[in-house]
Structure 1
Amino acid sequence: YGNHTVGVLPPALDALDALLTFDYTRALHRLYPAIDPVRSTSTLLASQATTPSHQITAKNVRRLLQRYADLRPPMDQYKLDIDALWYIEDDPHLAQDIGRARRLDRFLTQSFYGAEPWVGLVGQLVELEDTIAGCQQILAGAYDATPEDAFYFIGTLAEAKS
């Protein structure tokens, strides 16, 4: 069904519990799995099956990643850095938000057991609670001083520090 407005599903997809949207841009940047965390949806996030903390964290992660997705095309197309985004220069949190979004982008990568021969990384199983706690810490700024690449294909945040 191709592109659709987030939150407004075509009738054929309306009855699904979850919708995974693959993202070519994530694949180009080698962010695997190349699933778009903003456009992918699950009815579980609006149900009693998830904790309020999980729901709030997912909402905040998606909001931040959507903001970054809105800023990314001009940055990529014109090879701009954060300082060149003059039209929103009055936002004092711009650099901080972009840095945290890029850390989240990398933190949400995962090495799979089935992909070990191709990526050369050992597959990992990460507990849901560890992922939620990691996202909360990145959103809170606890890792603002840690390089973005430290979050690439790690399991828990403890691996980012090592």
Structure 2
Amino acid sequence: MDSFEALIGKNINEVALNESTTFFIAPLEYFYKNCGRRYPASKFKLADMDYFNLISFSDLFKYESILIIWYDETGLITDLEHYYLSNDFDVLFKDYYYIKKAIDNGEAHRLREGDTKYLGASRLSEKVAQPNSDSLANRREFVLKKKYLQKILNEMGFRCM
């Protein structure tokens, strides 16, 4: 982990982050709310969604953990967090199953990110065909929702300095 710890204090745009073979690497920007709490600026994309060949849960979560490289509005890397997704696999699997069931029932066009807790089916603008339906559905990608990333931040206990 020493090589990752050397990232603290550097600008996110000046570092090369290579894919890991043991965990997800997620460079994520955060902002401060008025109350002094941090909150994530965006979701974390896991994979594109193919309605006709949906990735399995085990392939989607091929790694049990995620290294989050938190950086502020200026691009300065301030913190690292190695978080075990496997602690939340029960909720993530329920979310995955809900999304899969909607696709299998030809209702991908009705999916909303609010339907799930941690794993989202983030909507993209392009419309595509879906199985078992004549309706077109927005193309989507699997994401870790802001709400889930906020949960991780809250567990880290960050406050305004």
Considering fraction of residues, name the structure with more helix. 1
Q: Same fold (TM over 0.5)?
A: no
User: Scaled by the length of structure 1, what TM-score is found?
Assistant: 0.28
Higher RCO, 1 vs 2 (CA within 8 Å, ≥6 residues apart) = 2
Considering fraction of residues, name the structure with more strand. 2
User: Scaled by the length of structure 2, what TM-score is found?
Assistant: 0.28
